[in-house]
Amino acid sequence: MKVQHTTLFDLKAYIQSRPPTERADQPTMVSGKLDLSHNTDTVEISTASRQLASSDVVNHAARYFGTVQINESLERSLQDQSPEVREAVYGIIQSNFITDVTEEDQRSALLELGLAQAKYIADNYMKGDQAAAFMDTIRQIGAISTTRTINPETKQIQYATPPQKPVGAPEDYVDLNYMMRKFQPDTFNKLQDAIVNGKDWSRILTDFAKKASTNQEWLKEYREAATQPSGSLPARNRFEHADTTRLSSFASTVQDIIAQLNSTNNTFLTDNLQAFIRKLGSQ
């Protein structure tokens, strides 16, 4: 079929958390591309995109943060770093940003401490543009972590992320996953359920793609959202002036700040700091 104008929709249906009872080998992501013509009602989905092959299962979903662009930027910043530094960075994201902590005061304190730990890494293991790009990426992930919500029905933890546009994608690229989550969340939940349970999800995707391609209001709001950040960082960071010259100095000044916080139980912060130190102790 010859198409005069094509908009590329890229499906990335990410299941952001799983109940503990689910099998570890259940899919967490399915990728597929749609070539959706504006002058036809026909949408073709490739055979490969219809299959939940083993290669489509993301076994290390915890190392995907926010969007494809954010993830690629993080990987570029860490590509020349030692395993210890990489683990320390992933530890910050998993223990300070994207966590299962429910108490808001604790979540805020962990976020602030994580930003300070990231600055220590930038100051000691990176230089110039690399350090600046790393901190920009870390701040994006930290900001996304503040958008955390819990679906009252499924109990899934979800984060609001900006629309994605992979490197090399055309100007009129549309992140169908984002649009479905934003404009028809019930449809997105059905899609997730179909993917996880091995049902036929292609019809759900195809029907929504047709609708999205002709809804000018959705497209306008999508374009506006693509230029806006997700979430926001705290205006003040209690740990921002921690001494980053040496690991021992950093640990000492952070511990002093923790001791001065108005809380009867700051053990979670001390434990977090000690875990960070252990990861970098041999560096």
Express each pLDDT in 128-150 by its tens digit.
Answer: 999 999 999 999 999 989 988 88
Mean model confidence pLDDT for the chain: 76
* pLDDT tens digits along 73-116: 899 999 999 999 999 999 999 999 988 888 999 999 999 999 99
How do residues 179-201 score in pLDDT, each as one tens digit? 888 899 899 888 888 888 888 88
- In this structure, the number of other CB atoms found within 10 A of the CB of residue 252 comes to 13
* Global pTM exceeds 0.85: no
Around Cβ 259, how many Cβ atoms within 10 Å? 10
Q: What's the one-letter identity of residue 48?
A: A
Per the model's pLDDT, the better-predicted residue between 180 and 15 turns out to be 180
Alpha-carbon span 79 to 85, nearest angstrom: 10
Domain extents for the chain? 6-63+150-225, 68-148+235-280
